[in-house]
Amino acid sequence: MTARSVTKTVTIDCPVDEVFAFLADPANWPKWAVVNVKSIEPTGDPDWWAMSTPVGPAKLRLRADAAFGILDHDFRDDTASWSVPARVVPNGDGTEFMITFYQPPTFGDQFFDEQIALVDTELSTLRTILETKA
């Protein structure tokens, strides 16, 4: 059985290596993932970061590979656990950032739609931060 999915993209006028470096550092996530990540800090496990989210504590594991532009990450909280594929790819002198969300079985359609709509705010924030830095 397949899960419902939504892929979001944003074009960022900033070199792909700079976008990758920014996104591959979980310490930067509260700066751009302003809806879902209130704070983040390393844990004793080098693979996992502890996050504070609007619904409570959560964990994040980033599986990054710069050579292929992979920024896949795993997310766990009390309501669900899921993996999120994400990529950065060159677009001329800039970058495309693509992120796919699969609807967890514990999320109803309306709640999933509401959460996905909030991602647009985060992607817009990401673009603003990186284009301002460039």
Q: Report the distance separating Cα 29 and Cα 41, nearest Å.
A: 10
> Residue 47: which CATH number?
3.30.530.20
* pLDDT single digits (tens) 88-113: 999 999 999 999 999 988 889 999 99
Domain containing 41 equals 5-133
φ/ψ (deg, to 5) at 123:
-70, -35
Q: The tokens of 6 are what?
A: 């939504």
Which among 120, 111, 98, 76 has a CA at the least distance from the CA of 4? 111
Indicate the residue type of 22: F
Q: The tokens of 62 are what?
A: 């980033």
Q: The tokens of 53 are what?
A: 């989210």
pTM to 2 decimal places? 0.92
Question: Mind listing the pLDDT tens digit of every residue in the chain (134 residues)?
Answer: 898 999 999 999 999 999 999 999 999 999 999 998 999 999 989 899 999 998 899 999 999 999 999 999 999 988 778 899 999 999 999 999 999 999 988 889 999 999 899 999 999 999 999 999 76
Number of domains in the chain: 1
